[in-house]
Amino acid sequence: MSNFNDLTDPTDLNDGHDVHDGGQLTEQALRRRHAARGRSATGRAEATCRYVGIPSDAAEVVPTGPASRAAHAVRLSVRALARLPESSPDPAADARCARNASAAAVVAAQMAREHGDTALSEAAFHAAMAASRAAGEAAGRDGMGRDEPLNAKADAAEAAAVAAAKRAGWI
């Protein structure tokens, strides 16, 4: 598993250096943005799994319980993010990768919410759900990974989910 503290803050990604005429981000810049959001969500999921005591080797190809489901979701996210550089940038596919990582973080957050059973855990779970929904919107048919307002919303929701997870003690 990766070190969550080494991950990029997704809200720092749009620095304006990689734009085409008309202010549109290049596909490579969009890839970096989606990948950073995916790494953040994966790191959040990994940290949350550690918080509840789920080891990375709990992943099973066919998950048989909540712990193996969470570990498997994290494993799939890590693999997908590692393979991104092997393909050509594709904003829609890259955004789906970030969306899937965010969904993995929800699986882990669900376990942590049950483990912590506090108002902070409940808030962190809801923030994880909001981040997953926003990532889904950014990756969806209307955004296809290119829509700036949807990407900004997803970045902000991911940052809020990280902050809520930290307040809950998951990170």
Angle at 142 between CA 104 and CA 35, to 5 degrees: 40
Closest CA to 89 of 39, 51, 33: 33
At residue 10 the predicted structure's pLDDT band, cuts being 50, 70 and 90, is very low
Per-residue pLDDT tens digits for 73-124: 999 999 999 999 999 999 999 999 999 999 999 999 999 999 888 999 999 9
Q: Determine the distance from the C-alpha atom of residue 146 to the mean position of all C-alpha atoms in its chain, rounded to a whole number.
A: 17
- Per the prediction, the chain carries an average pLDDT of 89
What would the mean pLDDT of 11-20 be, rounded to a whole number? 45
pLDDT at position 23 over 60: no
What tens digit of pLDDT does each residue of 59-72 get? 998 999 999 999 99
Count of residues in the chain = 171
Q: What is the per-residue pLDDT for 25?
A: 82
Instruction: List residues bridging with 128 in a β-sheet.
Output: none
* Percent over 70 (pLDDT), the chain: 86
